[in-house]
């Protein structure tokens, strides 16, 4: 049986290094694992309980929930904005956490990776993302981590999919995450 991993990217920029990292995950997913890159996080409105009403949930939020519901696990790609998680990724977590106790994240294995320009590769944002997604009900796969520093220079002329060290680290994370997925059992 194949494991389906939904990839969410916390940067909306088309040329984002975190998006490129997600593309590398899609390209280098091991046999038996499908990584699907979700599009449209920029269209998901900020979470508001007043608009989270059955039958009238905004289309982009409903699509996000459906994609997460069809996934066996999630892989979140977080850049670091002002030392913390980007709003678009936090908003996705908020939508996926509802309804409380029964959201699309409940019990799902999740790993968080990313790259940033700084010398630590965005670890603060990734730690905050793990915290938020865990509180939202997901099962954080703590050992599945990858923080790549110096993104602006490291990926100036090389796509992450063509960086052997990055591909090795990413493949390890995907393996760890897929092993934690119920479909792997």
Cα(77)–Cα(37) distance, integer angstroms: 10
Three-state DSSP class for residue 16: coil
Whole-model pTM?
0.96
Instruction: Give tens-digit pLDDT for 100-137.
Output: 889 999 999 999 999 999 898 999 999 999 999 999 99
Instruction: Give tens-digit pLDDT for 141-171.
Output: 999 999 999 999 999 999 999 999 999 999 9
Q: Write down the CATH number for the domain with range 3-184.
A: 3.40.50.360
Cα(178)–Cα(185) distance, integer angstroms: 10
pLDDT score recorded for residue 84: 95
Instruction: Give tens-digit pLDDT for 77-100.
Output: 999 999 999 999 999 999 999 998
Cα(140)–Cα(132) distance, integer angstroms: 10
Q: Which residues contact residue 118 at a Cβ distance below 8 angstroms, ignoring those fewer than 6 apart?
A: 80, 149, 150
Domain spans, the chain: 3-184
Using the predicted structure, report yes or no on whether residue 184 has a pLDDT greater than 70: no
């Amino acid at each position: 049986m194949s494991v389906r991993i939904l990839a969410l990217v916390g940067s909306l920029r088309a040329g984002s290094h975190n998006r490129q990292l997600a593309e590398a995950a899609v390209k280098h997913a091991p046999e038996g694992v499908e990584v699907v890159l979700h599009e449209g996080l920029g269209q998901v409105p900020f979470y508001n309980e007043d608009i989270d009403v059955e039958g009238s949930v905004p289309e982009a939020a409903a699509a996000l929930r459906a994609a997460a519901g069809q996934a066996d696990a999630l892989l979140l790609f977080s850049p670091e904005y002002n030392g913390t998680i980007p709003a678009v990724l936090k908003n996705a977590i908020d939508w996926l956490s509802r309804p409380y106790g029964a959201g699309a994240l409940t019990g799902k294995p999740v790993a968080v990776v990313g790259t940033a320009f700084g010398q630590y590769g965005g670890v603060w944002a990734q730690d905050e993302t793990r915290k938020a997604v865990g509180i939202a009900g997901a099962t954080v796969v703590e050992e599945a981590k990858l923080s790549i520093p110096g993104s602006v220079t490291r990926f100036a002329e090389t796509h992450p999919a063509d960086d052997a060290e990055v591909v090795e680290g990413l493949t390890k994370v995907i393996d760890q995450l897929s092993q934690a997925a119920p479909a792997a059992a």
